[in-house]
Structure 1
Amino acid sequence: MIRHTESTMAGGITWFWNERFWLPSNVTWADLRSSDGAVYPQLEDFGVILPISLILLIIRLIFERLIASPVARFLGVPAVNGRPAEDNLILEKAFQSVSRFPDDKRLQGLAKQLDWSVRRVERWFRRRRNAERPSRLKKFSECCWRFVFYLAAWSYGMYTVPYESWFWDTNSYWYNFPFHSLTTPIYNYYVIEASFYLSLMLSIFTDVRRKDFIANLVHHISTLSLLGFSWVCNFTRIGCLVLIIHDASDIFLETAKMANYAKVHILAHINFSIFALTFFVSRVVIFPVWVIHSSAVISLKVIGPFPSYYLFNGLLIVLYSLHLYWFYTIAYMVFIIVTQGMVEKDARSDVEETTDSSDETESLNGSSKTGNSTNHINTRSRAAANHH
């Protein structure tokens, strides 16, 4: 039985990695085994991704606690969500065992039981719910970690990849494909990026939970799959270019979000505008002109079509379609900021409930109209930056 199961699994793996699908004609997996003369990407190389991703998670915890959180406190980012709800055993019991969002009838009953106004009971439930929401400090710390990684990864990519002999000549991406010997910088770049996305996928269950949770989870899985496929089939030259293009704009997005959480709204607007410009140049212009043209047109002339050619280019076109959609959304947000100074609530947003006008009007993501507008913009554009 065990042998039968192992045989079935081996057969499934063989079927999935059929070289006739993934590689050009007359090329086999055996041809891509590393030797003394050339080093090619190997599937087993990705075995280091899980331990590195776990190390990144540990580094992240230390970074957020010892660096990001103190910086947030220094900038005045609060660790709690507004005023706490006053102690009340009756309301606490109703909150825990009955409903976190009581209807009008229950609110009136509780108000009568406590001899409170209905407005006061509503306010208590609002504050109690806010107490369980992630604080701005936690959000700031998460953004700070992503900002540091994107900045470091993009800097490393720009320091190493453009100095490869093939980088500036898109025809060189396909000459003698797939026999492109792997250099140490490219290996390091691919592995650390894949490890980071795996760490994001592992931490998504403990990070601030947003309404696009499922979309983000699917995105991380898709990104890891694309990185894995491009690695095994040695599409690493195009892959490195895609990574550099995508990391560039994310730096400014995370900076804008941190500035918003710290209520430095002018800096948030400036960085979001830079993010929008960088997004347009890198993902709307450079991506099709350099990446898709090379992968779809030049490769066809140099090596001809093969089955996985259509898969990879189809995925790149889908990715570009997402770029266009999200840039439209981002451009609309920028237009609203420039013309009106604020935007309406975004249905995707994880905006916390605010208190009544008689209390503090601060929400977790900013109390002023300018702050709230930036929060909604950052929340919507976050998904744009996440669709790598």
Structure 2
Amino acid sequence: MAGILKTVNGAFWSEYVWLPPNVTWKDVAPGSRQDIITTDYRHLYIPLPMALVLLTIRYCLEKYWFGPVGISLGIKNSRPKKAPNNPLLEKAFLSNHKQLKHKHIQGLAKQLDWSERQVERWLRLRRSQEKPTTLVKFTENAWRCLYYIFSFCYGIIILWDKPWFWNINECWNGYPFQSITNDTWWYYMFSLSFYWSLCVSQFFDNKRKDFWQMFVHHIATIILMSFSWVCNLVRIGTLVLVTHDCADIFLEVIYKKKINLINFIKSFLNLGG
């Protein structure tokens, strides 16, 4: 078994696949050349504790800043009326993650001596209890939006004087013997820590319908960033990051309640001051 794993690992990390001709992994190993500072795969562990710091910052901002801002904008934090306690319907609700079929509803109505409409009303109230409040959605959106704004601005600042920001061909000139600067190092670490924090926070936040889709998306992002880091493809990686951060800002700003952005900014600044 160990021999098979070694063969698979060797085939996966083949220099023929990942590196240019006549270049080996030893040539791009950390410290292999004094004139070039390459990426170090051991640094991929650093974003894990940083993710815990981001989760702490998020908790404080949502509780002491975004929450009050949302309330000042008139966003409700109240939940709908709770469904009356009913063990039979509760068991049926928990055992069926999707909407109950009509035959099942008929059976429940007969057992309870209720009308089908009463059963449907109870199930509707019970489903509404699982949904997060509007204020919770707002605070989550505000946190992600703030991060993407910060990340995008930081990316623009550090890339402004980089040659590959203006000429994409510079991403490949001299590859893989390209030094990584301190600012791009931090850009990668911040981004990786943010996506690790999203993976963790998903299990504590109110679950959405696209829970697993988003979880797979975050894991895929981490894997792609890790591969680009190991292969020293940081230049093209930074361009991808800044492009996605820019788009994600607008995705978070487009709030389903269509809150007036000007009023939001005014309240945000007033509370911040």
TM-score calculated relative to the size of structure 1: 0.58
Bigger relative contact order (CA 8 A; separation at least 6) = 2
Instruction: Report the Cα offset of residue 166 of structure 1.
Output: 3.4
> 8 Å contact 1:79–1:135 — kept in the other structure?
yes
Residues 161-310 of structure 1: pairs in structure 2 closer than 5 A: 161-257=159-255, 260-261=256-257, 264=259
Instruction: Report the Cα offset of residue 122 of structure 1.
Output: 4.0
Q: Which amino acid aligns with 1:106?
A: L
Q: Which residue of 1 aligns with 2:149?
A: 151
Instruction: Report the Cα offset of residue 97 of structure 1.
Output: 3.0
> 8 Å contact 1:80–1:131 — kept in the other structure?
no
1:160 counterpart SS class: helix
1:30 counterpart SS class: coil
2:177 counterpart SS class: coil
Instruction: Report the Cα offset of residue 173 of structure 1.
Output: 1.8
> 8 Å contact 1:40–1:180 — kept in the other structure?
yes
Aligned partners of 1:210 and 1:202: how far apart in 2?
14
The 1:99/1:11 distance shift into structure 2, 3 A limit, reads: closer
Aligned partners of 1:99 and 1:48: how far apart in 2?
42
Q: Which runs of 5+ in 1 are unaligned?
A: 269-388
Instruction: Report the Cα offset of residue 98 of structure 1.
Output: 4.0
CA deviations 1:118-152 (Å, max 9, x no partner) are 65554344223312322222211111111011000
Instruction: Report the Cα offset of residue 13 of structure 1.
Output: 4.4
Q: Which residue of 2 aligns with 1:345?
A: none
Cα-Cα RMSD: 2.7
Instruction: Report the Cα offset of residue 222 of structure 1.
Output: 1.5
1:201 counterpart SS class: helix
Aligned partners of 2:261 and 2:88: how far apart in 1?
43
The 1:74/1:107 distance shift into structure 2, 3 A limit, reads: farther
Q: Which runs of 5+ in 2 are unaligned?
A: 95-99, 263-273
Pairing partner for 2:90 from 76, 92, 96: 96
Aligned partners of 1:49 and 1:62: how far apart in 2?
20
The 1:70/1:10 distance shift into structure 2, 3 A limit, reads: farther
2:70 counterpart SS class: helix
Q: Which amino acid aligns with 2:179?
A: S
CA deviations 1:146-197 (Å, max 9, x no partner) are 1011000000001111211332122222221111111011111111111111
TM-score calculated relative to the size of structure 2: 0.80
